[in-house]
Amino acid sequence: MRAVTRYLALQDGLSEIVGRVISWLTLAMIAILMIEIVARYFLNSPTIWAHETSTMLYGGFCMLAGSYTLRHHGHVRSEVIWGTLPKRGRAFCDTLIFAIGLVVLAIFFKMSVEFAAESWNVREYSNKSIWQPPVYPIKTVIPVAVGLVLLQNIAELVRAALTLFGVEYEDPRATEVESDIDPELLASNLDANVGEAVAVDRHGRN
C-alpha cells in the first residue's frame, strides 16, 4: 500500500500546487483591472485589451481551479444525506459518484481536446473587440483543466473504493480536517429539528 500512499500524495500535491499558483496569478488579473479603471476614469483613455484579457484569465482560472476544489471537497454535495451515513455508506456514495464522474470526465476530455485542436487549426481569433486576440491559447486551458480534474477524480475514486472494501492504507490526508460536520451530531440535530417541527405543527392545529 506504500505505492498507493505515494500516488495519492503526489496527486494531492499536484492539485495543491496548481491551486496555489492560480491564487497568486489572480493578482495579475486584479492589476489588469486596476489599469483599466485608472485609464478609463482618470486618464479618459480606456484600453482595448484589459476587459477581454481579464475575462479570459478569469475563465481560465475558474477552470484550472477545479482539481484543487475537488481535492478539498469544495464542490457541491448534499451533506444533509451523505453526512448521516456511516463511513462505508459514505464511501459507497463516493465510489459511485466518482466512478460516474470518471466516465463523464473522460468523454469531456476527449471533446475538449478536439475543441482546442480545431481552434488551433483555424487559428481562431476573438471578434468581441477591435483588439481581436487569439483564443486558441485559452481554449487549450479547457482540456488541461479537465485533465487535472480527471486525475484528481481518479485519486478520490481510489480512496473511496479502498474505504468501501475495507482495505487498510495510509492516507496522506489523515491529519487533515476534511469536514466540520460530525455525522452523528448532524443526525441527532436533524431528528431534533424534525421533532420540533412536528410539535409546532400540532400546536398550530390545536
198 found inside a domain: no
DSSP reduced 3-state for 3: helix
pTM: 0.80
pLDDT single digits (tens) 184-200: 554 455 455 545 554 54
171 found inside a domain: yes
> Mean pLDDT of all residues in the chain?
87
81 found inside a domain: yes
181 found inside a domain: yes
Output the DSSP codes for 112-169: HHHHHHHHHHTT-B--SSTT--B-HHHHHHHHHHHHHHHHHHHHHHHHHHHHHTT---
**pLDDT score, position 82:** 83
pLDDT above 70 as % of the chain: 84
Domains in the chain, number: 1
27 found inside a domain: yes
Residue 206 predicted with pLDDT over 50:
yes
Q: How confident is the model at residue 180 (pLDDT cuts 50, 70, 90)?
A: very low
Q: Which residues have CB under 8 Å from 202's CB, separation 6+?
A: none
Residue that the C-alpha cell 475537488 belongs to: 70
pLDDT single digits (tens) 17-35: 999 999 999 999 999 999 9
**pLDDT score, position 191:** 54
